[in-house]
Structure 1
Amino acid sequence: MAALLAGSAMAFGAAPGTAQANDGYDLWLSPAAAPAASPDIRVIGDSATLKLAAAELRRELTSSPLPIVLGKADAPDLAGLRLPLAGLGAEGYLVRPATIAGRPALVVTGNTDAAVLYGAFAAIRAQKMGADLAALDISSAPKVKLRVLNHWDNLDGSVERGYAGQSLWDWWTLPDFKDPRYADYARANASLGINGVVLNNVNASPVSMREDYITKAAALAEVFRPWGIKVYLSARFSAPIELGGLKTADPLDPEVRAWWKAKSDEIYRAIPDFGGFLVKANSEGQPGPRDYHRSHADGANMLAAAVAPHDGIVMWRAFVYAETDPDDRAKQAYTEFKPLDGKFADNVLVQVKNGAIDFQPREPFHPLFGAMPKTPMMLELQVTKEYLGFATHLAYLGTLFEEVLEADTRAKGKGSTVAKVVDGALEGHRLTGMAGVANIGRDRDWSGSTFNQANWYAFGRLAWDPTLSAEIIAREWARQTFGNDPQVVDTAVAIMMKSREAVVDYTGPLGLAHLMDTGHHYGPGPWVNELARPEWNPTYYHKADRDGIGFDRTRTGSNAVSQYAPAVARQLADPRTTPETELLWFHHLPWDWKMKSGRTLWTEMVAHYDRGVATVAQMQAQWNGVKGKVDAERWSKTATYLAIQHREARWWRDASLAYWMSVNGRALPAGSAAPEHDLAWYKAQRFPLAPGQGH
């Protein structure tokens, strides 16, 4: 499939017409109105899912040289064709020409109704990328079993780290009113192969598992089911106390275990295909098994036993850190979870963030990947841009996702990539998963801006196949979103592919991280050092002083490098072999350290800050070049947001440099502009109402 899309990327169709009005609601899909000439489509079967697949083809395809036949592979008219279905599993699809009852047709098939639906969307995507349906021959099966969006949505409608308005779920009017947007949301997910949705915040309220809220969740499950999507709930570990009136939530207490079993049975009566639980425990003040001197495995296995009779699973997050642990925050998850390898139940996945801190614009891959061979590791990525400029900064995260998936853990020699850990190939795990913290809200364009939609799209495509190219995905999205004008598509892709690196440059180059202001995570605050917990303070992470900058994670410091496989640890232990993109993550170095460019560390840092601002200016100029070729609504909003991004990139650059100069006492290199204001001005800025703050 990747080769097909790469080969057809430049095979643009007819010359573009006048840009039509577009408010972004339809994402990368077509509007509800069907095209004038609908292709000849025959459906074998009458399930709701097959009917949806046929409706999508009628809506999306501009034409088809062959009649299209949709049906499961075991349907009478298809079973005798001896189609190559080996390896497709339950969700893989096959789309190819065949002769049925003496007539040529394009067959869209798979072993389940959901597979046929995915095949229909694949045919649509292929045509939009320039493929000839008469010659189409594609098959694909997901490399990852659970492809799940995590909604950090609260029951009051707010969204933690959400920058696209209020929650899509209106819990107050559920279950009676099912907003049509729920089905549109499910349609978009199905087009990418996303097959699961966690409805509520990992900082969970016990109310989400109250009887009336289970009924509300069941109403959403009813909408999602025909689209091949299961619902999950974030479970609050202390719910037996808060809902059940028990005196403890100890996972080894028989009454607690019985309470969870009864609650699980109740949920499955309302939602027979309920997926299971996501749990955040003993992190950032959340309750968990360690409150009772039990392990994370004890807690996860208790819940796993409760859902196992229903084929449910538990996604247990490894994002843990505590102020009582004086060790390097980057080490804490490994320290707690590595000894538990092999102790989790068969229906438990340990859900691990891409990096060991917290979704920073760049982090090294998490050392737990490759370190727990007996445990399925579920990769957690953040689609919402908590640290990458909220919704207003254009930052295509496909490149970030690709970077971590391609990272080599060296756990079993060269080629032991994070992707192979996640998809089970490295250790033979059959239970596999990827989770994305959703960027979706009630904004008309779903995610706060048009280009933010690309991050939702990229997550879905990479969850299906973690080996796909971020650039090919960007081109797919751009062409489906903006149409066939080669200048528009090429411009969009060019902007996207440089955008995330620009954010890294102007917020935290050379391995710096966690430099944002407190609470809202909006804007620079490298000087912050008065928060209650040391690891909340940016000064904890950069340790800048007059002599140098960076966090020493070698043997002379926290020795976090020892948590990686020996080959990786050796590379990272030496600043001369550490990738310069991660240099200050692992090393505290003098300001005069000589970089590969021949410049000093200080001069190189300034050059990166300057480059970040200049890149955003280039992005603005490129977008200005397609004015009139993109509808006015989306062009104007993007242009306005790029102007905001350029202003705020300069703010990040100026504030950061003003602070570093106050620490190191050095002047800026020749030709680099002085900050617009003094350091006191930047420190005085306050943003108490910035969106997305946690409760």
Structure 2
Amino acid sequence: MRVLLFLASLGLVAAENGLDGWLRYAPLPCSQQCKSKLPANIVALNATETSPVYVAGTELQQGLESIYGTKTGVSHDKCKSSSSSVVVGTLEQYRKTCGAVKDIPDLEEDGFWIDTRNNRIRILGSNEKSVLYGTFEYLSMLAQGNFSEVAYATNPVAPIRWVNQWDNMDGSIERGYGGPSIFFKNGAIVDDLTRVKQYARLLASVRVNAVVINNVNANATLLTPTNIKGLARVADVFRPYGIQVGVSLNFASPQTFGGLDTYDPLDASVINWWSNITDQIYDEVPDMAGYLIKASSEGQPGPETYNRTLADGANLFAHALEPHGGIVMFRAFVYNQLNESNWDADRANAAVNFFKELDGKFEENVVVQIKYGPIDFQVREPASPLFANLLNTSTAIELQVTQEYLGQQSHLLYLPPLWKGIFDFDLRVDEKPSLVRDVYSGKRFNRKLGGSTAVVNVGTNTTWLGSHLAMSNLYAYGRLAWDPTDDSEGMLQDWIRLTFGLDKTVLNAITKMSMESWPAYENYSGNLGIQTLTDILYTHFGPNPASQDNNGWGQWTRADHTSIGMDRTVSNGTGFSGQYPSEVASVYENIETTPDNLLLWFHHVDYTHRLHSGKTVIQHFYDAHYDGADTAQTFLTQWESLKSKIDKERYEHVLRRFEYQAGHSIVWRDAIVDFYHNLSGIADTSKRVDHHPWRIEAESMYLDGYETYTVSPFETASGAIAIVTSSNDTVGTATTKIKFPSGTYDLAVNYYDLYGGQSQWKVYLNNKKVGEWIGNAEDYLSHTPSIYLDGHSATRINFRDIKVKKGDTLKIVGTPDGVEPAPLDYISLLPKGIVD
């Protein structure tokens, strides 16, 4: 019998800061029927306090009390066969203590079985950590009011289910948007590991089994004796949750840290040095997962310095780890600087060019870690063809939970639909079904190792990632690492119920916003496979399409005044399409069969080229960017409808992000459409681009203490001009007469919020203050801030329901602070229902 406690209203609880994530175990009412379903006692078949089975018992005890107010005792010494008990343990422990187990399907490594039939709950695993996985699964059911009678086994698709942290020894995190490191500070492991324990709980609950705690751009000082002992303390915290610790290494460490005169991977002294370091680590951390290596890329040292192959480099570490059972995760993110004037040059070719010829030359404990696409975590890429070119080498897919190019947790973007598009892609190796998920799991090419990893980058912020809603991606990543066929919307809704409760209105609203978020972001940030048109030379956050070209990084669009897109065909371009097996290559080689959403990835076309939809490329750009920004406006209104149903602290936190995203999506929209309108000279058939009838440019207002400023890139300011105070000590005033018809308007002000100062602005209508704000986004938003007037710092604020009369005087007074000169771009007076 299935009992679901969906309640129309649960009433508001005390404010929550997000620290418990989806393990908050919020109280639920419990009827007599509900109470009859709850276990009266708990048996955890291991009394050792550091064992995952013991932890499972403790989690059950605390979870039952938190959710249903039930105080349940835990015993360890004998098996209670009575009804209303829950027994947790390994199959071996259960057989030894409780007797034979019947009708359990085969359990693979880390697999578990749950049986809740007949008022008796058994959670049994193939090993101790899998018992904990099953326990969290059961608690997840209870926390969602689900008392279904079930009996099923589940096994992971692959043995590697890792996360990477790009934490630096000084406590900063590269591409981290949730505060400083929970692991490092001032060059050492932190003393207080309380947050590490909570992170361990979150990861174990979604069945992640290893964490690499330091940046792939590694600092060799992690290898000091003191820090190795610190690493042991971290491992001690993770171990009871079934999670192993791994570390990233700097390839040149034998020379830069060890004092040798070389780091040649075939040099005997280097081999010996790494062997000794590895032994030292395993003396302190006997179950270390292994090493993550980034080499020969983006300025990092590697084996190519000595004309050695990448396999030589990987195998150096494999030999050191082999006696200890460790794994080498060797990143395939290897590429060189390129010259764009060479039509054949293409960064997308790099992974296959570097690794294909090495297939089969890696040791068995080496796993090549491959980004899901050939470039770098873009909003849309084709699946990396390297998955189809390593038939004799273990692989893992690399995802990114931290939204580096994708809004940096200041924009909502639910990532599983993007990931699953890659997982489900059929590479057709040897003209046979070859789904990407079957390749990286090891299934397709009969590899024992394989799996997935994700760059997560949680920090000390209580929201972990800088945004409450961004945690849906970490939750879903764990679920998909276990089973990549899991349903995107179903996972999301489990997370919503666990995080925000059982109210259907909340469930429906967050589901709708989240499922629309990736298409919306793609629409306003770059589509048709052109990549995310962000600034790749600076923060990777706001718009800067020109930065994509005329650089050595190879994330090119090859846009000019008549045409756009990378020609990656074999017949006339870079040859990238030929890296796929023939059936896939033929689809991408032919412009007629290439899907529209990857057209500009594979083909260079005129702006007037017609898509399968019938639109021209340039008109699609215009329409998509307006559509995406329009969708982002609805996120704010949908969230506001939940005000009475979400606790105040989390409601306000998310509200500010949606207010920001609504404004910044318009910054994105205008920057991209203005850039390509200026470049192509082709008008928008809907007459929206460069046409803003409700907008008043700041530079057209009467200025006192303000002066004009030419913004770069030009498209990140309306009309390319903003205003700034004439000095950092001067208060600026911008005044204008209202020429619009009398009525009630929403007042939108576009301004720039720079890092290094917190200017203040006040808005007056006929000398009556109608609004004010402070430029303090760096204090409450998560993205990398900017010190320039550009697409990263551009934003807007809205004041609703302002009654104005034609001829009224509108005045904005800006007070600079620090390096921030109270910058303004424009104001808009918007009638109801109008998006600027």
The alignment's TM-score, normalised by the length of structure 1, stands at 0.93
1:198–1:674: structure 2 CA closer, same or farther, 3 Å change rule? same
Paired position in structure 1 for 2:44: 43
Paired position in structure 2 for 1:118: 133
Paired position in structure 1 for 2:460: 442
Q: Check conservation: 2:672, 2:715, Cα contact below 8 A.
A: no
1:596–1:343: structure 2 CA closer, same or farther, 3 Å change rule? same
Quick check: 365-374 or 177-186, which moved more?
A: 177-186
Q: What is the distance in 1 between the residues matched to 2:588 and 2:507?
A: 39
Quick check: 86-95 or 370-379, which moved more?
A: 86-95
Q: Check conservation: 2:588, 2:594, Cα contact below 8 A.
A: yes
Indicate the structure with greater strand content.
Answer: 2
Paired position in structure 2 for 1:617: 633
Alignment of 1:116-515 (within 5 A): 116-133=131-148, 135-172=149-186, 177-323=191-337, 327-413=345-431, 415-515=433-533
Q: What is the distance in 1 between the residues matched to 2:298 and 2:785?
A: 14
Q: What is the distance in 1 between the residues matched to 2:785 and 2:487?
A: 33
Quick check: 322-331 or 86-95, which moved more?
A: 322-331
Q: Check conservation: 2:4, 2:147, Cα contact below 8 A.
A: no
Q: What is the distance in 2 between the residues matched to 1:210 and 1:406?
A: 43
CA drift of 1:81 comes to 3.1
Q: What is the distance in 1 between the residues matched to 2:160 and 2:562?
A: 48
Per-residue CA deviation, residues 503-536 of structure 1 (Å, 9 max, x unaligned), is 11101111111521122112111122787x4226
| Pick aligned residue for 2:714 from 661, 680, 686 | 680
Confirm whether residue 91 of structure 1 aligns to residue 110 of structure 2.
Answer: yes
CA drift of 1:80 comes to 3.2
Q: What is the distance in 2 between the residues matched to 1:56 and 1:413?
A: 48
Q: What is the distance in 1 between the residues matched to 2:465 and 2:313?
A: 34
TM-align CA RMSD: 2.5
CA drift of 1:33 comes to 9.7
Give the number of the structure whose alpha-carbon radius of gyration is greater. Answer: 2
Q: Check conservation: 2:183, 2:190, Cα contact below 8 A.
A: no
Quick check: 665-674 or 338-347, which moved more?
A: 665-674
1:254–1:598: structure 2 CA closer, same or farther, 3 Å change rule? same
Paired position in structure 1 for 2:685: 669
SS at match of 1:636: helix
| Pick aligned residue for 1:519 from 518, 535, 538 | 538
Letter of the structure 1 residue corresponding to residue 142 of structure 2: Q
Paired position in structure 2 for 1:547: 562
Confirm whether residue 13 of structure 1 aligns to residue 29 of structure 2.
Answer: no
Letter of the structure 2 residue corresponding to residue 132 of structure 1: F
Letter of the structure 1 residue corresponding to residue 255 of structure 2: I
Q: What is the distance in 2 between the residues matched to 1:688 and 1:376?
A: 44
Confirm whether residue 27 of structure 1 aligns to residue 21 of structure 2.
Answer: yes
Q: Unaligned stretches of 5+ in structure 2? A: 71-82, 698-710, 721-751, 757-777, 787-836
Confirm whether residue 579 of structure 1 aligns to residue 595 of structure 2.
Answer: yes
Q: Check conservation: 1:543, 1:550, Cα contact below 8 A.
A: yes
Q: Check conservation: 1:164, 1:439, Cα contact below 8 A.
A: yes
Paired position in structure 2 for 1:591: 607
The alignment's TM-score, normalised by the length of structure 2, stands at 0.77
Q: Check conservation: 2:522, 2:532, Cα contact below 8 A.
A: no
CA drift of 1:183 comes to 0.8
Q: Check conservation: 1:160, 1:693, Cα contact below 8 A.
A: no
Letter of the structure 1 residue corresponding to residue 567 of structure 2: D
Higher relative contact order (CA 8 A, sep 6+): 1
| Pick aligned residue for 1:648 from 659, 664, 678 | 664
CA drift of 1:492 comes to 0.9
Q: What is the distance in 1 between the residues matched to 2:112 and 2:370?
A: 29
Confirm whether residue 570 of structure 1 aligns to residue 571 of structure 2.
Answer: no
Quick check: 346-355 or 436-445, which moved more?
A: 436-445
Q: What is the distance in 1 between the residues matched to 2:333 and 2:277?
A: 25
Q: What is the distance in 1 between the residues matched to 2:559 and 2:577?
A: 20
Q: What is the distance in 2 between the residues matched to 1:98 and 1:599?
A: 57
CA drift of 1:467 comes to 1.3
Letter of the structure 2 residue corresponding to residue 46 of structure 1: A
Q: Check conservation: 1:96, 1:138, Cα contact below 8 A.
A: yes
Q: What is the distance in 1 between the residues matched to 2:223 and 2:540?
A: 30
Quick check: 106-115 or 148-157, which moved more?
A: 106-115
CA drift of 1:602 comes to 1.3
Q: What is the distance in 1 between the residues matched to 2:56 and 2:261?
A: 50
Per-residue CA deviation, residues 258-308 of structure 1 (Å, 9 max, x unaligned), is 111111001100100011100000000000001100100000001100010
1:280–1:502: structure 2 CA closer, same or farther, 3 Å change rule? same
1:382–1:175: structure 2 CA closer, same or farther, 3 Å change rule? closer
Letter of the structure 2 residue corresponding to residue 163 of structure 1: Y
Per-residue CA deviation, residues 141-198 of structure 1 (Å, 9 max, x unaligned), is 1112111110000000100000111111134596683331111110000000001010
Per-residue CA deviation, residues 362-412 of structure 1 (Å, 9 max, x unaligned), is 111111012111011110001100011112100001111111111111114
Letter of the structure 2 residue corresponding to residue 646 of structure 1: A
SS at match of 2:511: helix
Quick check: 65-74 or 479-488, which moved more?
A: 65-74
Q: Check conservation: 1:178, 1:219, Cα contact below 8 A.
A: no
Per-residue CA deviation, residues 89-110 of structure 1 (Å, 9 max, x unaligned), is 23111110478xxxx6211111
Per-residue CA deviation, residues 177-220 of structure 1 (Å, 9 max, x unaligned), is 33311111100000000010101000001111122111111110
How many residues are paired up?
678
Q: Check conservation: 1:330, 1:356, Cα contact below 8 A.
A: yes
Q: Check conservation: 1:87, 1:141, Cα contact below 8 A.
A: no
Quick check: 177-186 or 562-571, which moved more?
A: 177-186
CA drift of 1:35 comes to 10
Q: Check conservation: 2:183, 2:189, Cα contact below 8 A.
A: no
Q: What is the distance in 1 between the residues matched to 2:566 and 2:685?
A: 24
Quick check: 89-98 or 579-588, which moved more?
A: 89-98
CA drift of 1:649 comes to 0.9
CA drift of 1:11 comes to 4.7
Letter of the structure 2 residue corresponding to residue 631 of structure 1: D
1:577–1:188: structure 2 CA closer, same or farther, 3 Å change rule? same
Letter of the structure 1 residue corresponding to residue 106 of structure 2: G
Q: What is the distance in 1 between the residues matched to 2:657 and 2:499?
A: 18
Letter of the structure 1 residue corresponding to residue 16 of structure 2: N
Q: What is the distance in 2 between the residues matched to 1:245 and 1:651?
A: 51
Q: What is the distance in 2 between the residues matched to 1:408 and 1:120?
A: 35
Letter of the structure 2 residue corresponding to residue 107 of structure 1: R
Q: What is the distance in 1 between the residues matched to 2:611 and 2:190?
A: 63
SS at match of 2:683: coil
| Pick aligned residue for 1:108 from 123, 130, 139 | 123
1:249–1:688: structure 2 CA closer, same or farther, 3 Å change rule? farther
